[in-house]
Chains A and B, each alone.
Chain A
Amino acid sequence: MDSTVANTGTEEKTWGGGNKPLKASYGKMMMWFFIVSDALTFSGFLAAYGFSRFKFIKEWPIADEVFTHVPFLHGQELPMIYVAFMTFVLIMSSVTMVLAVDAGHHMNKAKVTVYMFLTIIGGLIFVGSQAWEWATFIQGDYGAVQTNGGNILQFGEYVTVDGKEKFKRVSIEDIAVVEEGVRAQHERKNGLWFVGEEALPPYSVSEIYNGLAANENIRVRTQEINAEGEKTVLSREESLRQIKEHGKLVVKGANLVVNEYGTSLFADFFFFITGFHGFHVFSGVVINIIIFFNVVLGTYERRGSYEMVEKVGLYWHFVDLVWVFVFTFFYLV
């Protein structure tokens, strides 16, 4: 090696090369560059979310009413519990990652292997949970009617629980009066050739209207948030009038165009921001797996340094850091 490396005799001087600015290695420094720029990307998204939310501040969906599900506990409203679990899983996997880095400093290959493995498992549990969360969100629970103006009207009734009057949501399936053969799905094979149409909504607005008229105690709830921080519930007459005059489309679940929870931007931002974060977690898991195999094969043992684990660790902690903010702004605030 010596013969191929030019020796300038200036190694000890500032500009002689071989310096580490800020006492951080090149790789770690570049990871910090990436993290700063990625943090700005996420802030851009979250700030855009804030922009849209401020724009519709009086009618934004209330997160506690949207994310209420926990796997295996059907029909129970448990806001926050599942996301709290997801947050804990991610923080926990951050801990195993930092323990792997620490074991790397002590050149303890066995420990690094175990902790890297646990980190990967944590990441997979998180991504899986997020997939479940998405599926539940897309599936929807109560359904709603969208008006011509794009507002969402939901249904419910007042019930007395423990002596207190509470507004309880009612599913469109429970109130709709089904009419036979009103509207058939247009398929590619009939009618206009090779022209299909998207899936029809589960019910027509008139079926919902008839159901609403038949059920005396069901009322419509609008998007509007009142002084008590709750969504406005309309009177019976107003409920019927709203559905009859303004109702346009029956909505169940969520997609990028319309969702049953409220303003369509809510679902768009949910998909985009949690999706982008989920993609980061996924790529983090992939990178972790690669590093895991490198550890198992002894690459870093031979290299004499586990710094690569440290660099991947920085990325992994960053993903955790972003989640802390997503958690706050989507589920808490």
Chain B
Amino acid sequence: MAHEHKLEIFRGLWKFKSNTQKIWGVLAFLTFVTAVEVVLGIYKPEILMHTWIDPFKGGFFATIGNIILSPFVYMKPLNLIFILLTIVKAYYITWDFMHMRDETKGLRRSVVWTGVFLICYLIFILLQEGGYVFSVYNAEDALITRDF
């Protein structure tokens, strides 16, 4: 059985001599990312706590713009950073710890694309619905109150 490992991460920016060294390198990187998350989570820099773009008002194109730029229009930059860093960590855990880097393209794609597609769909449907229920609960003429 041959066990060839691809010994570089960051598209070849960081090369390793052995698989063991690569593992420690990835650990260092993951720890660094987690530390960044924790520091941001504790100090919550003011500049990242408010959205940078206000929702566009107007007709069809404003709506399209809001949909395309929704992560920037509706999400605090801090949360966006957290989610992106999480995906970065997930990538390195899957690629280097689970050896996805060394599997064939076919296996890699059937696992990742299936998962990513279904998860995006699930998240879209449920968050959209949650936002809708919120608007029903909190509308001007809402038929429901919890303040009693």
A24 adjacent to B37 (CB under 8 Å): no
Contact of A35 with B97 at beta-carbon distance under 8 Å, contacts A305-B1, A324-B86 already known: no
Q: How far is the CA of A23 from the CA of B118 in the complex (A)?
A: 25
* Mask: chain B, 118-148; 1 = CB below 8 Å from A; 0 = not: 1100110111011101100110000001111
Asked if A36 meets B34 with Cβ closer than 8 Å, knowing A43-B119, A48-B126, the reply is no
A18 and B97 alpha carbons, distance in the complex (Å): 28
**Contact across chains for B130 and A54 when beta carbons are under 8 A apart:** yes
User: When chains A and B are docked, how far (Å) is the Cα of A324 from the Cα of B88?
Assistant: 10
- Contacting pair A47 B146 (CB below 8 A): no
- Chain B residues whose C-beta falls within 8 Å of the C-beta of A332 in the assembled complex: 37, 41, 79, 82
Residues of chain B within 8 A of A52, CB atoms compared: 130
Q: Which A29-81 residues sit within 8 Å CB-CB of chain B?
A: 29, 32, 35-36, 39-40, 43-44, 47-48, 50-58, 64, 79-81
Contacting pair B23 A102 (CB below 8 A): yes
Out of B41, B49, B90, B122, which one reaches A325, CB within 8 Å? B90
Q: How far is the CA of A98 from the CA of B133 in the complex (A)?
A: 44
Query: Is A94 in contact with B97, judged by CB distance below 8 angstroms?
Result: yes
What's the Cα separation between A50 and B35 when bound, in Å?
Answer: 25
* Residues of B1-48 whose CB lies within 8 A of A: 1, 3, 19-20, 23-24, 27, 30-31, 34-35, 37-38, 41-42
Q: Is A84 an interface residue (CB 8 A)?
A: yes
The reply to whether the CB of B115 lies closer than 8 angstroms to some CB of chain A is yes
**Residue A117 interfacial (CB < 8 Å):** no
Bound form: Cα–Cα A320–B30 in Å: 12
Instruction: Find out whether the CB atom of A79 lies under 8 angstroms from the CB atom of B41.
Output: yes
- Are A91 and B34 CB-contacts (below 8 A) given A48-B126, A102-B19, A305-B1? yes
- Contact indicator B93/A23 (Cβ below 8 Å): no
Is there a chain B Cβ closer than 8 Å to A270's Cβ?
no
Asked whether, in the complex, the Cβ of B137 is within 8 Å of the Cβ of A91, the reply is: no
The answer to whether A55 touches B134, judged by C-beta atoms less than 8 angstroms apart, is: yes
Residues of A close to B83: CB separation below 8 A: 328, 333
Most buried by A among B42, B99, B122, B130: B130
Please report the C-alpha to C-alpha distance between residue A229 and residue B147 in the assembled complex, in whole angstroms.
20
Chain B interface extent, by class: 35 or more
A32 and B108 CA atoms in complex are apart in Å by 10
Interface readout for A151-185 with B: 1 if CB under 8 Å, 0 if not?
A: 10000000000000000000000000000000000
Least CB distance from B136 to A in Å reads 9
Tell me which of B19, B41, B133 has the highest count of chain A C-beta atoms within 10 A of its own C-beta. B41
Kindly state the separation between the CA atoms of A317 and B85 in the bound complex, as whole angstroms. Answer: 18
Report whether B115 and A36 are in contact in the complex, using a CB–CB cutoff of 8 Å. Answer: yes
Contacts A88-B31, A317-B98, A332-B82 given; indicate if A324 touches B131 (C-beta within 8 A): no
Residues of B within 8 A of A80 (CB): 38, 41-42
Which of B19, B111, B122, B146 makes the CB contact (< 8 A) with A149? B146
Cross-chain contact A150 with B114 (CB below 8 angstroms): no
* 12 more A-B residue pairs beyond the given contacts A32-B111, A320-B93, with a C-beta to C-beta distance below 8 A: A23-B103, A36-B115, A51-B133, A87-B34, A91-B27, A91-B31, A99-B20, A310-B99, A321-B94, A324-B90, A327-B86, A328-B82
Q: Which residues of A contact B (CB under 8 A)?
A: 22-24, 29, 32, 35-36, 39-40, 43-44, 47-48, 50-58, 64, 79-81, 84, 87-88, 91-92, 94-95, 97-99, 101-102, 105, 147-151, 229, 246, 305, 310, 313-314, 317-318, 320-321, 324-325, 327-328, 331-333
Interface pairs (24), CB distance under 8 Å: A22-B106, A22-B110, A23-B104, A23-B107, A24-B104, A32-B107, A40-B122, A43-B123, A51-B129, A54-B130, A81-B38, A88-B34, A94-B93, A98-B96, A147-B147, A149-B146, A229-B49, A246-B147, A246-B148, A313-B98, A321-B93, A321-B94, A324-B86, A331-B41
